Chain A
């Protein structure tokens, strides 16, 4: 019998992900009326779908242990952290400081996620894209965002 390998097992973890999502949806859906098949309540569809996910998940967990396909080890953690963070910052800055700072931070922060990051170039890119998007979206299309908010 071959050695069972959990770590880095692509299908196994896919299965785990599906079981968690499916089970969570079944549990949450218990708060909604299930109804009957004649009159389906709001809980009917999510319960059925969640159960389907759990079944697929369990199958994939077992199949994964048999197949043992590995997850590609390159996790690009830098991008995984920096890109969503830059987006969140964009969201916050849009509410409090206006379009220019938000866009500058977003572009520079995203550029910093690259493997070949060049700060000066990224700064120029940030200025260029901020001007470009402001011209197109705010002056051109007329989106109602203040460029810079007063404090």
Chain B
């Protein structure tokens, strides 16, 4: 059995001392930043990415992935204890999780969140292992037109499904594509948009943009919203949920996992949408919906499973097609590229240790997270008391060293400062920068595929509708756009994001 052998191979890779260590570091950092409000996985991964350059690609990816899903666990801790979502994915967890804490049932709420996340994480990991190889198999047959159409579909879907105004998100994708082509054109050697600046001939550094916009810009925004004092509970109470709690949570965990996996594969839908949908579903199927909002354990179990399943399944398109479904996945793709690995379906056959090692490490990481989050919860709670005024200068310090270390260049630092201001303006104008990052990462590849497709077809654009797979992607793109402007869907979308 192939799957079985591959998984054993993966666990062999993941269980090496170095990889275990990086996995542990990743999930610890992830929990940490998940607990701390005001810094998310996107900014952290961007900030720490330069430090992984000297590490083998498998270890680097294992650590970065750990930060990402670790943050989902940590985010729920603050949501339950302080009514403050550490991550956006934990917003709905606040509703019933925090009520449980107020009723002295913080322990079971935290435990169910961790158990649900673990079940979802396990399922997500299995799904990647099962769905990955056949998907990559199909993708290997793609030519340039298919790739271009697929990327177009991915970007459009990511833009329209992400939070914020649809037109702005689509425009931000184009903005990212434009930023991505700064530098030397690979086909002709022409310098584009580098204005004679030697440092720009290799393009704008990927980490410069990510840190500038998502760390610095975000801090400036946060400084505009002073900290609020919140109800704080130190009393966690009995940790283990009762048999009745477990019985009540089983179905919501499974439903949440299924929902989260579904949303996970779709580009653009963040874990927040998965957890929100799960909450609505649990409320709908509950015998007594009035309990929701007053500490219903189902309202914690479902969404927490959903957001973790979503986070795991986001890896499927990234690993098999080289298509980033979210800002974090765009960073992972960037990390691969910097390591000299061309992302795409070939990765699975040329670097099997990377694919299977990463998958196995995710399962190990999820197990570590349960240990990290349940018995050691007291430690994380103490961290909550660290005020933001001490936190953000530390973020600045790590960001600066990280960026400087990429090229030992002060120019990159200046450019980061500039993108900090640009990112602030974007956020202020309600232009979500996450779609920009996707466009930026895919920009050069998309242009290349478009050029090749046009060469193949001798300049005839009908190549995108005469090849069946390309046509399917084009039609899907059009369908996504049409559905999203239908009045009913539009209104519903505004309610969800309201």
Please give the residue numbers on chain A whose beta carbons come within 8 Å of chain B beta carbons, in ascending order: 10-11, 13-14, 17-18, 21, 25, 28-29, 32-33, 36-42, 45-46, 49-50, 52-53, 56-57, 59-60, 63, 69, 71-72, 74-76, 78-80, 83-88, 90-92, 94-95, 103, 106-108, 110-111, 113-118, 121-122, 125-126, 129, 133, 137, 141, 143-145
Contact = CB atoms under 8 A, between A and B. Distances in A.
**Interface of A (DSSP majority class):** helix
A14 B429 contact: yes
Contact of B171 (A57, A83, A107, A133): A57
Contacts of A108: 393
B239 interface: no
28 contacts: A10-B429, A14-B168, A18-B171, A40-B450, A40-B454, A42-B185, A45-B447, A46-B193, A52-B174, A60-B168, A78-B223, A83-B220, A83-B417, A83-B420, A84-B216, A84-B421, A87-B417, A87-B420, A91-B404, A103-B397, A106-B396, A108-B393, A111-B389, A113-B220, A115-B389, A116-B389, A121-B389, A129-B394
B384 interface: no
B224 A49 contact: no
Interface in B214-269: 216, 219-221, 223-226
A88 B413 contact: yes
Contacts of B454: 37-40
A145 to B, nearest CB: 8
Contacts of B413: 87-88, 90-91, 94
B17 interface: no
B418 A84 contact: yes
A112 B392 CA distance: 11
B12 interface: no
A88 B394 contact: no
Main secondary structure of the interface of B (DSSP, over half): helix
Interface stretch (B57-65, B136-144, B175-183, B273-281): B175-183
B428 interface: yes
A46 B192 contact: yes
7 tightest CB-CB pairs across the interface, nearest first? A38-B459, A76-B224, A91-B413, A91-B410, A84-B417, A56-B171, A79-B223
Interface of B: 51, 54, 165, 167-168, 170-171, 174-175, 177-178, 181, 185, 187-188, 190, 192-193, 216, 219-221, 223-226, 387-390, 392-394, 396-398, 400-401, 404-405, 408, 410-411, 413-414, 416-418, 420-421, 424-425, 428-431, 447, 450-451, 454-455, 458-459, 461
A92 B404 CA distance: 11
Nearest to A113: B223
B414 to A, nearest CB: 6
B224 A17 contact: no
Given A57-B171, A83-B216, A107-B397, 16 more contacts: A13-B429, A17-B425, A18-B171, A33-B190, A37-B461, A45-B447, A46-B192, A56-B167, A60-B167, A74-B225, A80-B421, A88-B417, A90-B404, A107-B393, A113-B392, A118-B389
A129 to B, nearest CB: 5
Contact of A75 (B167, B185, B224, B226): B224
A63 B167 contact: yes
Contacts of A115: 223, 226, 389
Contacts of B451: 40
A117 B398 CA distance: 20
A17 B431 CA distance: 11
Contacts of A33: 188, 190
A87 B400 contact: yes
